[in-house]
Structure 1
Amino acid sequence: MDTKLFFVYLCAIFSAFGGFLFGYDIGVISGVLTMPHFRERFPSTPAVEGSIVSSFLAGCFVGALMSGYSADRFGRRFSILGGSIIFAVGSVLQATSATFAQLYIGRIVSGISIGILSMMVPLYQSEISPKEIRGRLVSLQQFSITIGIAVSFWIDYGSAKIDSPAQWQIPLGVQCIPAVLLAIGTTILPFSPRWLLDHDRDDEALIVLSKLRANGDKNDPIVIEEFNEIKETVRFERELGAKSYLELVKRGPENIRKRVILGVAIQAFQQLTGMNAIMYYAPQIFTSAGLADNSATLLATGINGIVNMVATIPAILWIDTWGRRPTLISGGTLMGTFMLIIGIILAVHGTVYYDSAIGKHSLHLNSTASSYSVIVLIYLFVASFAYSWGPGGWIYPAEIFPLRIRGKALSLTTASNWLFNFIIGQFVPILLDSITWGTYIIFGVLGLTMAVSIFLFFPETKGKTLEEMDSIFGDVKSALPTHTEAKRGITDGGTSPSNEPDEIKKTEQARDTETKENIPSVGITFPG
Structure 2
Amino acid sequence: MAPADFRGTLNIGFQLMITVGIFAANLINYGTASIKGGWGWRVSLGLAAVPALIITIGSLALPDTPNSLIERGHDEEAKSMLRKIRGTEDIRAEYDDLVAASDEAKSVDHPWSKILQRKYRPQLTVAILIPFFQQLTGINVIMFYAPVLFKTIGFGSEASLASAVITGIVNVFATYVSIATVDKLGRRALFLQGGTQMLISQLVVGTLIALKFGISGAATDVSKNYASIIVLFICFYVAAFAWSWGPLGWLVPSEIFPLEIRSAGQSITVSVNMFFTFVIAQVFLTALCHLKFGLFYVFAGWVAIMTGFVAFFLPETKSLPIEEIVMVWKKHWFWSKFISDEDVHVGNP
Match of 2:323 in 1: 467
| Aligned equivalents of 1:264, 1:163: Cα separation in 2 | 45
Determine the C-alpha separation between the residues in 2 that align with 1:245 and 1:296: 49
Which residue does 2:203 correspond to in 1?
340
Q: Aligned residue for 1:248?
A: 115
- Give the distance between the partners of 1:365 and 1:139, measured in 2 at CA: 42
How far does residue 462 in structure 1 lie from its aligned partner after superposition?
A: 0.6
The one-letter amino acid of 2:18's match is: I
Question: How far is the alpha carbon of 1:321 from its aligned partner?
Answer: 0.6
Q: How much does 1:238 deviate?
A: 4.5
Between the two proteins, the alignment pairs up a number of residues equal to: 341
1:142 counterpart residue number: 15
Q: Which residue of the other structure, out of 121, 124, 127, is the alignment partner of 1:260? A: 124
Alignment TM-score, normalising by the size of structure 2: 0.92
Aligned partner of 2:135 in structure 1 is 271
**Structure number with bigger Rg:** 1
Instruction: Report how far residue 301 of structure 1 moved.
Output: 0.7
- Between the aligned partners of 2:56 and 2:256, the Cα distance in structure 1 is 28
Q: SS of the counterpart of 2:60? A: helix
Aligned to 2:301: 445
Following superposition, the deviation at residue 422 of structure 1 comes to 1.4
Residues 1:197 and 1:378: Cα distance change in structure 2 (over 3 Å): same
- 2:142 is the alignment partner of 1:284: no
- Report % sequence identity: 32
Which runs of structure 2 are paired with 1:410-449 in the superposition (5 Å)?
A: 410-449=266-305
Q: 1:58-457 alignment to 2 at 5 Å?
A: 128-214=1-87, 220-221=89-90, 223-238=91-106, 241-251=108-118, 255-291=119-155, 293-351=156-214, 366-457=222-313
Deviation digits for residues 322-347 of structure 1 (CA, Å, limit 9, x no counterpart): 11111111111111111011111111
Unaligned runs of 5+ in 2: 331-338
AA at the equivalent of 1:194:
N
Q: Which of 1 and 2 has higher RCO (CA within 8 Å, sep 6+)?
A: 2
Supply the AA of the counterpart residue of 2:116.
Answer: V
In 2, are the aligned partners of 1:290 and 1:371 still within 8 Å (CA)?
A: yes
> Does the 8 Å CA contact 1:365/1:371 hold for their aligned counterparts?
no
Q: Provide the rounded CA distance (Å) in 1 between the counterparts of 2:144 and 2:346.
A: 50
For the aligned residue pairs, the C-alpha RMSD in angstroms reads 1.9
Question: How has the CA–CA distance of structure 1 residues 467 and 366 changed in structure 2, closer, same or farther, with 3 Å as cutoff?
Answer: same
| TM superposition shift of 1:378 | 0.6
1:144-195 per-position Cα deviation (integer Å, ceiling 9, x unaligned): 0100000000000000010123211111111111211121112221112112
In structure 1, what is the Cα distance between the partners aligned to 2:201 and 2:46? 35
Instruction: Flag as ranges the 4+ runs of structure 1 deviating above 2 A.
Output: 198-201, 233-239, 241-244, 361-370, 473-483
Contact between 1:160 and 1:167, CA under 8 Å: does it hold in 2? yes
The CA distance in 2 between the partners of 1:146 and 1:437, in whole Å, is: 26
SS of match in other structure, 1:290: coil
Distance 1:229 1:388 in 2: 30
